[in-house]
Structure 1
Amino acid sequence: MGSNEQRHVSYADAGVDVDEGARAVEAIKDAVRSTTRPEVIGGLGGFGSCFSMAGFKDMEDPVLVSGTDGVGTKLAIARLLGRHDTVGQDLVAMCVDDVVPVGAEPLFFLDYVAVGKLKAEQMAQIVAGIAEGCRRAGCALVGGEMAEHPGVMDPADYDLAGFVVGVVDRPKMLGPDKVRPGDVILGLPSSGIHSNGYSLVRKVLIEGKTPRELERPLDELGGESLADAVMRPTTIYAGALVRALKAGAPIRAMAHITGGGITENLNRALPPSVDAVVDRGGAAGCSWDACRAPSWDVPPIIDCCVRAARLTPDEAYKTFNMGVGMSLVVAPQDVRAVRSALAAEGLPSFVMGECVPGSGAVTYR
């Protein structure tokens, strides 16, 4: 070939497999359809996703609430273990449970998946997890993007990002302005680490271990393997909470316990003049009869990581959810009603503290 002669270079030669992309789209169609809502207009294939707002006409002042997030370094463990079927649920959880604290109902969700080398089967597993998360949250998966980045990402690498839009009627919005001293703080149990703190998890529990070692049952985890414990999907609270709110559950504020743990998330549900006092020993000493409950359980995998990292209690409560995935602030007289409404939706709850006059901080006793 002469030096001036040009060689034909296809998109596939550059590392992008258009045919595999088409197979991936075909593989996810049924999963996407399973999440549809009546407001969804059209389906996959359009340049933009359409969603009818006709149902909002009965609201006094409809407010759109949006959220976006990713899964973070938990994906590195998923790649190590070859488990890709639950990280999609993690992605949805991190987004929808960020919009529900103001009382918003998640309406529709979009995802962005960046991969080094597109594999239709792997993509189908990821999107199936996203669809499962959307079904649990009650929102529609209306679109997304699969982007192949050869030469920029390693072939086995991928990253996820999600975006959700919800709606709430402004007069019914929840938030710190409704919280008062004397209010009770309820906790909803987490399923485990959820999707935060994984840089530390990898450092103290995962690094240096083979997938086979990670799959071995451990006594300290009640016979569960590290692989199962760290990959357990994030609990999605939004769907059940929205149904409880629609049924009239009188919740004043909520806090999604994510990165920063209880310490740096519960304070986001507080006004500047109120502190949250969290009882690390449980609520058995509560003065209000309706609130009596045993202390909540910290999942063994969190306890295992806290001990391996030798975290102090203050560090632990600022790093992990410590068994609390969502916190609710409720008036004392409404505790029984709220807990009953949550139980009817399959959400167990426990008392974790109370609100007192203060400066908007979270303290412990």
Structure 2
Amino acid sequence: MNESRSEAYAAAGVDITAGYKSVELMKKHIQRTETPGVCSDVGGFGGLFQPDMTGMKEPVLVSGTDGVGTKLKIALLMDKHDTIGIDCVAMCVNDIICCGAKPLFFLDYIACGKNVPERIAEIVKGVCEGCIQAGCALIGGETAEHPGMMPEDDYDLAGYSTGIVDKAQIIDNKTMKAGDVVIALPSTGVHSNGFSLVRKVFDVENADLEAPVEKLGGKSLGETLLTPTRIYVKPVLALLKEVAVKGISHITGGGFYENIPRSIPDGLGAKITRSQVKVLPIFDLIAEKGGISERDMFNTFNMGVGMSIVVAAEDAEKALRILKDNGEEAYVIGEIIESEDKITII
């Protein structure tokens, strides 16, 4: 047991012994994420990882960082903290996979008003579950107490991940052409974007988050909103082994209108057929409760589509089969056309 303790620091609001206890509680979760390449234990000054670059001619590292945003407010109101870490991992690794890279490792950062070791361990438990779903290792992190800057019960969570891809296998849009097909990978819900609007629409601080809601299939609003962001790494990696993918978009803040165009070259656009998009009930409820236009909904939320993938028309059936075999009920939502508008929803 670490004997370090500062009475003066504790009087200022920082209990360093709580940090030691947090680490001890989270170790069993972190150990579950270990993958070949991990070269260090948690607690050092840096996380060490030796990547396997066998068969790669020009390995390229791809990095991503993100947070969970104000979805954390729902976790705090529900006093449920064991899934929010999945969201944090998802927001990073789902971006990395858009380049075709396999995530290697992850690091997290938790800032809190007061370190409650059991709660910190629950947060990290979720991070570890996300890492397992993504096939990467949690090799380090940091928990910082911010007394006087944050309320005692408050915290923020951010993460960082690095992946690797052979340069020749990086997904770009150079081969995309009119006639290619846009495939949707379903989301699990709101994921981790647009929660400032969600919180306003439902007035979550004053709402009954635990009452069953008929329009949500009997689930409560809180349970529905806390549903973790889906991690698409493993099914997409399986697809990349067999199909030439021309573009991938992670549908996050900005919805369809901001994210799908990011993977499309100039002179082309995505024509999305609105009737083919399988909108989840939570989005209908948000639109109804908030009086939000369909255009704004598609420009804010994922609307039930967490990721879009572009493949050649002749590869679409094979791609759908591979994705289904790997747990994704993927379906076609549109096509690539010659257009100066990067996206059209009709």
Shorter-normalised TM-score: what interval? over 0.9
Among candidates 329, 338, 349, match of residue 310 of structure 2: 329
Whether 1:75 aligns to 2:72 is yes
Structure 2 matches for 1:175-194, cutoff 5 A?
175-194=172-191
Paired AA for residue 201 in structure 1:
V
Report the equivalent of 1:356.
Answer: 337
Among candidates 240, 243, 252, match of residue 249 of structure 1: 243
Deviations 1:195-244 (A, max 9, x none): 0010010001134524xx21000111111110111111111101221133
Among candidates 142, 149, 158, match of residue 152 of structure 1: 149
Report the equivalent of 1:286.
Answer: none
Separation of aligned partners in 1, 2:235 and 2:332: 19
TM-score normalized by the length of structure 2: 0.96
Separation of aligned partners in 2, 1:207 and 1:132: 27
After TM superposition, what 4+ stretches of structure 1 lie above 4 angstroms from structure 2? none
Deviations 1:31-85 (A, max 9, x none): 11100111110211211111113x2142111110000000000011111111111
Among candidates 225, 228, 240, match of residue 230 of structure 1: 225
Among candidates 32, 35, 39, match of residue 34 of structure 1: 32
Separation of aligned partners in 2, 1:208 and 1:14: 30
Report the equivalent of 1:14.
Answer: 12
Separation of aligned partners in 2, 1:240 and 1:130: 20
Separation of aligned partners in 1, 2:275 and 2:58: 42
Separation of aligned partners in 2, 1:243 and 1:39: 21
Deviations 1:323-362 (A, max 9, x none): 0000000100000111111111111101000000012511
Report the equivalent of 1:343.
Answer: 324
CA contact (8 A) 1:109 1:162 kept: yes
Separation of aligned partners in 1, 2:313 and 2:238: 21
Report the equivalent of 2:81.
Answer: 84
CA contact (8 A) 2:40 2:139 kept: no
CA contact (8 A) 1:270 1:360 kept: no
Separation of aligned partners in 2, 1:206 and 1:132: 30
CA contact (8 A) 1:110 1:144 kept: yes
Paired AA for residue 116 in structure 2:
K
Aligned length: 341
Separation of aligned partners in 2, 1:87 and 1:207: 17
Deviations 1:248-290 (A, max 9, x none): 23321100000000111000110001110000011xxxxxxxx
Q: 1:270 to 1:360 in 2, by over 3 A?
A: farther
Whether 1:197 aligns to 2:186 is no
Whether 1:260 aligns to 2:254 is yes
CA contact (8 A) 1:182 1:355 kept: yes
CA contact (8 A) 1:206 1:214 kept: no
Separation of aligned partners in 1, 2:311 and 2:40: 41
TM-score normalized by the length of structure 1: 0.91
Report the equivalent of 2:298.
Answer: 317
Name structure 2 gaps, 5 residues minimum. 1-5
Report the equivalent of 1:161.
Answer: 158
CA contact (8 A) 2:249 2:262 kept: yes
Deviates more, 1:259-268 or 1:307-316: 307-316
Paired AA for residue 14 in structure 2:
V
Deviations 1:277-324 (A, max 9, x none): 000011xxxxxxxxxxxxx42111111011112121111100110100
Q: 1:342 to 1:271 in 2, by over 3 A?
A: same
Deviates more, 1:130-139 or 1:336-345: 336-345
